[in-house]
Amino acid sequence: MKILLAISKFLPEYSGPAFRIFNTYERLKKINKIDLDIFCQNEENNKYSEYIYEGYNVTRFKSYNLIFFKKIINQIIFFYFFF
């Protein structure tokens, strides 16, 4: 199952909700095979970056830029029409 998670912050930036979500998806991963992609804002460096955190693809966008929301909408439209 492919999942796209859009969240304001994600690990390693400290965020309580991000930590709880990460643990939730880790439990789901044990039950089902999931492929999780994470879109979030980058408040530490305030620039675009991509990395892998504990096996999950993370894409960070500038926190004040609307590109974050446009990319999410484009991904949702893509998955809706092609999957």
Q: Pick left, alpha or beta for residue 45 (phi over 0 → left; psi -120 to 50 → alpha; otherwise beta).
A: alpha
Interatomic CA distance for residues 54 and 9, integer angstroms: 16
**pTM given for the model:** 0.63
What total of structural domains would you count in the chain? 1
> What pLDDT score was predicted for residue 64?
60
Show Cβ contacts of residue 56 under 8 Å, excluding neighbours closer than 6 positions: 25, 36, 37, 38
Interatomic CA distance for residues 10 and 75, integer angstroms: 19
Q: What is the amino acid identity at position 34? A: I
> What pLDDT score was predicted for residue 47?
75
- pLDDT tens digits for range 22-37: 888 888 888 888 888 8
- pLDDT of 66 above 70: no
Instruction: Print the domain residue range for 21.
Output: 2-82
- Band (pLDDT 50/70/90 cuts) for residue 81 is low
